[in-house]
Amino acid sequence: MEKRTYIPDNEIYRQTLSRLTENNEMTALIAIRMGCEMGLTRLEIVNVRVSDIDHINKRGLWVEIAKKVRRGSKKKTIHGKIKKEPVFEMRQREMPINSSLYQLLKSYVTNSQMYILHREKGNVNKPFIPRYINTMYELNDIAWSSHRSRHFFKTKVWSWMQKNNQVDVGLLKEYLGHQKNTTENYGEYSWDYKREVLDKVFEIL
């Protein structure tokens, strides 16, 4: 199956995690689980810091450096003509960490490390470049692309919502950092609820 379009099923995912654990490839294991179980992008994974864990809420990860997304437009006068220009913002958000991944992260990170992903050489106070995630996937023979890990997360959450009659597009968009429409912006989700949903989604892979 073509790698760029392949999304793993539960069995392949479990086997991959088991192999990485047996081979003691902990940095790859962490990166892949953060993509598949938190829906984080490469940019987010390499930039999250140890101090971002439990930064606001218990079992939460504050995602400060993320992909820029369009947030409307503004008017600007150019050569006497009024034109609209897109406005981009960083999609900062806090993501719940499921119980199993949280325990792994807490045992993996060290206070001497600024960023969650460990560097074995080079400046430990600098993050990896996003391309390093792709390289990590390739070196560890991961059967899908790093971008498909985010699709795995979305598919798992959506399937759980459908199965449990709790379909909530607004919540899924919030997990993924997508812009919500006016209706979806009404009301707020409690932290306990957002964390509980992901605990249930990834309770049994």
Q: What is the CATH number of the domain that holds 26?
A: 1.10.443.10
Q: Let me know if residue 75 belongs to a domain.
A: no
What is the span of the domain harbouring residue 148? Answer: 3-62+97-201
Q: Report how far residue 32's alpha carbon sits from residue 101's, in angstroms, rounded to the nearest whole number.
A: 11
pTM metric for this prediction: 0.85
Q: Let me know if residue 87 belongs to a domain.
A: no
Number of domains in the chain: 1
Q: Let me know if residue 91 belongs to a domain.
A: no
Q: Let me know if residue 77 belongs to a domain.
A: no
Q: Let me know if residue 58 belongs to a domain.
A: yes
Q: Let me know if residue 105 belongs to a domain.
A: yes
With cut-offs at 50, 70 and 90, classify the pLDDT of residue 188: confident
3-state secondary structure 42-83: HHHHHHCEHHHECCCCCCEEEECCCCEEEEEEEEEEECCEEE
Question: What would the pLDDT profile of 107-142 be if each residue is shown by its tens digit?
Answer: 999 878 899 998 878 888 899 999 999 999 999 999
- Asked if the model's pLDDT at residue 89 lies above 80, the reply is no
Q: Let me know if residue 25 belongs to a domain.
A: yes
Q: Report how far residue 53's alpha carbon sits from residue 45's, in angstroms, rounded to the nearest whole number.
A: 12
